Amino acid sequence: MKNVTLSLGAQFPEFRKKAVISIEKGKEFYDLSSEEIRNSGKWMVMFWWPKDFTFVCPTEIAEFNNHFTDFEDRDAVLIGASTDSEFVHAAWRRDHEDLRGLQFPMLADTSKSLADELGILEAEEKIAYRATFIVDPQGIIRWVSLYDLNVGRNVKEVLRVLDALQTDELCPCNWQKGEATLTA
């Protein structure tokens, strides 16, 4: 297993995985691929959580969902992912009130191949760390964030960084969308 996280400037790995896109019977699953996302010409924000049916994870997933239109407004495809199966994802969505109305796919990396290639598998349990990748329309990783298993991330910071990257300019510390960028 890999133990080095893919970082800035690396090509995001190719993938084709099952994803849960609905809780409607017969319409739950979809085959999602990196090729489809790349062909959309959009940015991709993929965030990973360790396990379904846990405590911190649904708070993050619900918060990403609360900001779904913010990502959409920025021409970014939002994808949540873990190493749980599509069936576990679907059961969790049906079971958890905050997850029933998700507007983004829950990717199932049951083989752990994508998490391994990204270098985000925890050594003992072989579950994904809380990782977030911002990938540009050419498939290049432009930002990576990793959190300990016990600490939830800040979705507004993900949006702030996405905004900064999309300016393609120099953005100072604590820069917010609409503020002046720096001139070299």
58-92 tens-digit pLDDT: 778 889 999 999 999 999 999 999 999 898 888 88
State yes or no: pLDDT of 142 exceeds 80. yes
State yes or no: pLDDT of 2 exceeds 80. no
DSSP 69-137: HHHHHTTEEEEEEESS-HHHHHHHHHH-GGGTT--S-EEE-TT-HHHHHHT-B-TTT--B-EEEEEE-T
Taking only the tens place, the pLDDT of each residue in 150-165 is: 888 888 999 999 999 9
CATH number for the domain formed by residue range(s) 16-153: 3.40.30.10
State yes or no: pLDDT of 17 exceeds 90. yes
| Dist. CA 171–CA 184, nearest whole Å | 11
Ramachandran region, residue 127 (left: φ > 0; alpha: ψ -120 to 50; beta: rest) = beta
Judged by DSSP in three states, 183 sits in coil
Angle in degrees, 0-180, between the axes of helices 155-167 and 56-66, rounded to the nearest 10:
40
Domain parsing of the chain, residue ranges: 16-153
**Mean pLDDT score of the chain:** 89
Report, as residue numbers or ranges, the catalytic residues.
57
What residue type is assigned to position 121 of the chain?
A: L
pLDDT of residue 103: 86
pTM equals 0.91
State yes or no: pLDDT of 4 exceeds 70. no
Rg (CA), the chain: 16
Taking only the tens place, the pLDDT of each residue in 46-57 is: 999 898 887 767
Range from 15-19, 73-77, 95-99, 105-109 carrying the lowest mean pLDDT: 95-99
| Dist. CA 6–CA 29, nearest whole Å | 28
| Dist. CA 31–CA 18, nearest whole Å | 5
Are 47 and 131 in contact, with CB atoms under 8 Å apart?
yes
The percent of residues above 70 in pLDDT, for the chain, comes to 96
Beta bridge partners of 168: none
pLDDT of residue 150: 80
For residues 55 and 122, which has the higher predicted lDDT (pLDDT)? 122
